[in-house]
Structure 1
Amino acid sequence: MAVPHPSSTFRAVVTGASSGIGMELARVLARRGHSVILVARRGDVLEGLADELRGDFSVEVEVRAMDLSDPSAVATLCDELAEREISVLANNAGVATFGPIAELDAAGERAQLRLNANAVHDLTLAVLPQMVARGSGGILMVGSAAGNMPIPNNATYAASKAFVNTFSESLRGELKGTGVHVTLLAPGPVRTGVPSADDASTVDDLVPDFLWHDSSRVAEMSLDALARNKMRVVPGTLSKAMSVAGGYSPRAVVAPIVGRFYGKLGDGA
């Protein structure tokens, strides 16, 4: 088998569904007939999205408003998902910080690691046994091009995404022939719509428009790749360049260059 077809009992789970790629993944899954469980901190946004998906696509939508940097919340969700029929798990939730780690909030950095890496690991372990036993299922890991190299001034994020990237591709090797698909999405900058002058960030200022990739297109590409059990999706020019640089360029040369760029992001945060 592969990724199960939509049914009344199966659910596709999307973490970080309140914005960006996560929100678009939820929309694409619902458009394709999948009932979904939306997970993020902002319950009001999730409820609005749930109403949209129910109205537009006539699917079942459940909301789980929780902070996945909180281990107790992750444990609660894992216990639930282990007892449900989960067809797709989109491990999308994540945050990033910029600047020298010694100058950043230590509690926030620890929470970032729990969200970006530990929650991904725990949720995957919760749904994997049922998928293997059933011989079908799909796990989409949202890593990052940043996880391919050391990045000064983005240390926690880059390291956490390195875990996701490596975990995803290692898992594929273990699951070969089981019917369970695993795909890694490793994007660079992804934009939803066009930012206004009022809400444009330092990232918007530093990254030219042609290097951004649209989140709705990224979601479509990612779920198509998951259906085909493609190993990795690297959308956009900058993502591909970072992947090549991370794989083939001397780290002693690349890290200072990339670090200076990310240091500018910290200066504007």
Structure 2
Amino acid sequence: MMNKYTKQQIAFQKKYGDWAIVTGASEGVGREMALSLAERGLNVVLVARRVELLERLSETIKKEFNVQTMVISADLSEISALKSLVQSTSALNIGLLIANAGYGTSGPLINADLQTELNMLDVNCRALLVLSHHYGKRFSTQKKGGIVLMSSIMAFQGVPNMANYAATKAYVQTLAEGLHIELAPYGVDVHASAPGPINTGFSTRSNLKMGAAAHPKTIASDTLNALGKSTTVRPGFLAKLLEYSLKLLPRWGRVRVMQLVTKGMMSH
């Protein structure tokens, strides 16, 4: 059980405590974010659809880090769930929002189920906007706080066979860049985290087979360490490698490269 903190952890608590909200906390990057925040001494609101996974994570956090947790089972594609989340956390001293919930699909858009694509738009964009708007207001009143929006390496160009997903991440990226400037005068840190391939359940849901992929713990650690220091962080070695590989190409060239990348991930 952790009860001693480093100077860096104490500074993090002072800036972003007492409570952090992590959406999509049941697995992958969201789960690692929650664990890392608890290790830094923050109480954590765990939000996802699968309550049994959240309950298990909650017990682990309370046992290992001696902090508080709140478990909220919610489908963030539903506006009622967003309102419930806001109401449930109204009495907590929230200082940090990690908007991690999201998913992707793969294949030609014209062959996709439209309702699934619209649902993805609601989770990846609308929910993130609602939460950023609400907690951004709260943090600006407090004169401190932070917002992390999960972007992607796919946010910086169109991506054939993942066109709608990449478009949702482009929205996330540009929203983070704008809010970074808007909220800075209020002492609120906003940044986008734009990882490359990650070894999570995302690939299963989007029907992709990843080759090299970063570990979620690396993504979480690099993202939180960069909070307050940059507009966009590209966590993990793969994200940086892809950035430098694509940097000198014109936008149309990056689109073609990403077409080859997604084709390889869909080859199975």
TM-score w.r.t. length of structure 1: 0.86
Contact 1:152 1:258 survives alignment (8 Å): yes
Deviation at 1:123, TM superposition (A): 0.5
In structure 1, the residue corresponding to 2:148 is in which secondary structure? strand
Deviation at 1:150, TM superposition (A): 0.4
1:174 aligns with 2:175: no
For the residue of structure 2 that corresponds to 1:33, the secondary structure is coil
Check whether the contact 2:20–2:45 (CA below 8 A) recurs between aligned residues.
Answer: yes
Instruction: Quote the residue 2:154 is aligned against.
Output: 146
Aligned-pair CA distance for 1:219 = 1.1
Match of 1:203 in 2: 209
Q: Hey, what does 1:47 align to over in structure 2? A: 55
How many angstroms apart in 2 are the aligned matches of 1:153 and 1:202? 11
Q: In the alignment, does 2:14 pair up with 1:5?
A: yes
Superposition deviation, residue 125 in structure 1: 0.8
Q: Is residue 48–residue 72 contact of structure 2 (8 Å, CA) maintained in 1?
A: yes
Match of 1:97 in 2: 105
Moved more, 258-267 or 84-93: 258-267
Listed as ranges, the matches of 1:1-269 within 5 Å are 4-5=13-14, 10-82=18-90, 84-191=92-199, 202-204=208-210, 207-208=211-212, 212-226=213-227, 228-244=228-244, 248-266=248-266, 268=268
CA distance in 2: counterparts of 1:82 and 1:121, whole angstroms? 18
Report how far residue 252 of structure 1 moved: 2.4
Code of the aligned partner of 1:188: G
Unaligned runs of 5+ in 1: 196-200
Contact 1:147 1:159 in 2 (8 A): yes
- Bigger drift between 171-180 and 239-248 goes to 239-248
SS at match of 2:61: helix
What do you get for the CA RMSD once the two structures are aligned? 2.4
- For residues 129 and 24 of structure 1, the distance between their equivalents in structure 2, rounded to whole angstroms, comes to 26
Greater shift in the superposed pair: 50-59 or 229-238: 229-238
Question: What's the CA shift for 1:247?
Answer: 5.4
Amino acid at match of 2:103: V
SS of 1:67's equivalent?
coil
State whether residues 156 and 170 of structure 2, in contact with CA within 8 Å, keep that contact through their aligned partners in structure 1: yes
Higher mean alpha-carbon deviation, 30-39 vs 249-258, is at 249-258
Moved over 4 A (4+): 244-248
- Does the CA contact (< 8 Å) of 1:148 and 1:243 recur in 2? no
Counterpart AA for 1:94? G
Percent identical pairs in the alignment equals: 33
What letter corresponds to residue 251 of structure 1 in structure 2? Answer: R
Q: Tell me if the contact between 2:209 and 2:266 (Cα under 8 Å) persists in the aligned partners.
A: no
Contact kept, 8 Å, 1:3 with 1:87, in 2: the verdict is no
Kept after mapping to 2: 8 A contact 1:6/1:35: no
Query: Which has the higher relative contact order, 1 or 2, with Cα contacts under 8 A spaced 6 or more apart?
Result: 1
Decide which moves more: 93-102 or 172-181: 172-181
Matches of 1:169 and 1:83 in 2, distance apart? 29
Q: What's the CA shift string for 1:209-255, capped at 9, x where partnerless? A: xxx222112211211211x4322210234322443566542232232
Contact 2:193 2:223 in 1 (8 A): yes
Deviates more, 1:231-240 or 1:151-160: 231-240
Q: Name the amino acid aligned to 1:90.
A: I
